[in-house]
Amino acid sequence: MTIFSSRLRTILANKTPARGIWLSPRLAALPLPILRYDDPFLPFGKDSISATRDLACVYVFDLAAYMALGAPGVVALERTIHYANAGGDVLTVLHGPLASACYLTACGETAFAVAGVTVSDPALVDVYAAQHEAGVFVVGVPEWGGSRLVITGEATQLTVVAQDQQIVIPLGGDAVVYASRGEDFALAARARLLEMSDD
């Protein structure tokens, strides 16, 4: 987790408090102006990121949500992650959670090129961390004391553990990215992210 946590600390030097966005696009929930596109997930993600990237330090991409659209969804996922990475001012995390080492290549520089991944088994942490020096977050193992993604009915957050320190990053999900279904959806997401930070 050293490189991930180091980059996170650098980002947080210019962005406080720590906060992130959970991107889990669904056709039925997308803003109406976005539905006119043949590949709506891409403009939805790009507009959401453009409106919030000066506030957010992490974007978590829900693999299952993108795959629900089939091949166009996977292409949109790759391009949206590339768009987020381009500025160098945020970290990207792919949420599966991944259940095996079969996704190592897909997460690397020649494919999705994410800075971190979620996994379902603590045994996979060293595998992904060694291969890509990625941040690796364990999901659904309450007793795990390392870096983790916690999803509850009320909140979702990443906890980065490095050098005996913890950085907790609240993630804005549907309440943020679907704050409006109108033309102002991206600005509404930004406003809601700011409100979440003040809660």
State phi, psi for 175 to the nearest 5 degrees: -65, -25
Amino acid letter at 130?
A: A
Of the candidate ranges 10-19, 101-110, 147-156, the one whose mean pLDDT is the lowest: 147-156
Mean pLDDT estimate for the chain: 91
Q: What is the pTM of this model?
A: 0.94
13-57, pLDDT tens digit by residue?
999 899 999 999 999 999 999 999 999 999 999 999 999 999 999
132-153, pLDDT tens digit by residue?
678 999 998 877 888 998 887 6
Domain 2-198 in CATH 2.30.30.140? no
Q: How far apart are CA 118 and CA 146, in angstroms?
A: 12
| Alpha-helix residue ranges (DSSP H) falling in the chain | 2-12, 41-52, 63-67, 71-86, 104-107, 125-132, 174-177, 185-198
Domain edges within the chain: 2-198
